[in-house]
């Protein structure tokens, strides 16, 4: 019952966040996260400016990396604060497919909140997609909540929605979803072992 209430509170909170993204913000503003009703002690993060980009067809590599394009410019995106299984890992393909489905809700149009560049030159970002109900879904948070990614703690500190990302992973872990359903190896350990 506690899990159901936590899940319900998170979904309501996410719904309110997404609704406010589209209905109450100026055209180029997205909230970086706000507390769910159950977790009102969390600080409300400031609004973040987003950039509208389109997915490059076939470029969803795994559950946390993709390419976007706008005006003949291409941008490689790495999701802030998450790490999904690599394609060759167990659950690698399973993590990529739900991300593709989420992106299809917005017909490939993505709202990018750029944060920084990583050591590979990728733009680390929070990524949103507008669904058919004129709401925006935080893909970083959704991938964690559904158990298709781990929180990448050492790289989550600059994420505007860090507190919500932590909560999303905690709920997936409690419910033993996806990567939390067994002895799955985190990708950072897998990469180190498979250099």
Query: Going by DSSP bridges, is the β-strand pair 123-130/73-79 parallel, antiparallel, or unpaired?
Result: parallel
Query: Going by DSSP bridges, is the β-strand pair 136-138/150-151 parallel, antiparallel, or unpaired?
Result: unpaired
Query: Known catalytic residue: 78?
Result: yes
Query: Known catalytic residue: 25?
Result: no
- Count of positions (residues) in the chain: 195
In the block, tokens 């589209």 appear at 22
Maximum distance among all Cα pairs of the chain, rounded to whole angstroms: 50
CA dihedral of residues 30, 31, 37, 42 (deg, nearest 10): 160
β-pair partners for 123: 77, 117
Contact 158, 116 (CB under 8 A): yes
Which of 67, 78, 96, 145 is the catalytic position?
A: 78
Which of 51, 69, 109, 122 is the catalytic position?
A: 122
Distance CA(3)–CA(184), nearest Å, equals 22
Query: Known catalytic residue: 122?
Result: yes
Which of 67, 86, 96, 126 is the catalytic position?
A: 86
Distance CA(163)–CA(124), nearest Å, equals 17
Q: How many CB atoms lie within 10 A of CB 121?
A: 8
Active-site residues, by number, are 78, 86, 122
């Amino acid at each position: 019952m506690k899990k159901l209430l936590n899940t319900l509170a998170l979904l309501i909170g996410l719904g309110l966040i997404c609704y406010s993204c589209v209905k109450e913000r100026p055209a180029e503003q997205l909230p970086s996260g706000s507390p769910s009703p159950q977790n009102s002690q969390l600080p409300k993060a400031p609004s973040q400016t987003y950039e509208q980009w389109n997915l490059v067809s076939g470029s969803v590599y795994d559950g946390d990396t993709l390419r976007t394009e706008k005006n003949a410019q291409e941008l490689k995106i790495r999701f802030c604060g998450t790490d999904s299984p690599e394609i060759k890992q167990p659950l690698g393909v399973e993590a990529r497919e739900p991300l593709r489905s989420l992106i299809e809700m917005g017909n490939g149009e993505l709202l990018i909140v750029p944060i920084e560049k990583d050591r590979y030159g990728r733009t680390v970002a929070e990524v949103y997609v507008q669904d058919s109900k004129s709401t925006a879904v935080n893909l970083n948070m959704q991938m964690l909540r559904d158990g298709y990614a781990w929180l990448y703690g050492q790289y989550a500190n600059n994420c505007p929605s860090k507190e919500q990302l932590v909560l999303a992973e905690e709920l997936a872990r409690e419910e033993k979803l996806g990567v939390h359903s067994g002895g799955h190896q985190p990708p950072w350990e897998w990469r180190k072992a498979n250099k």
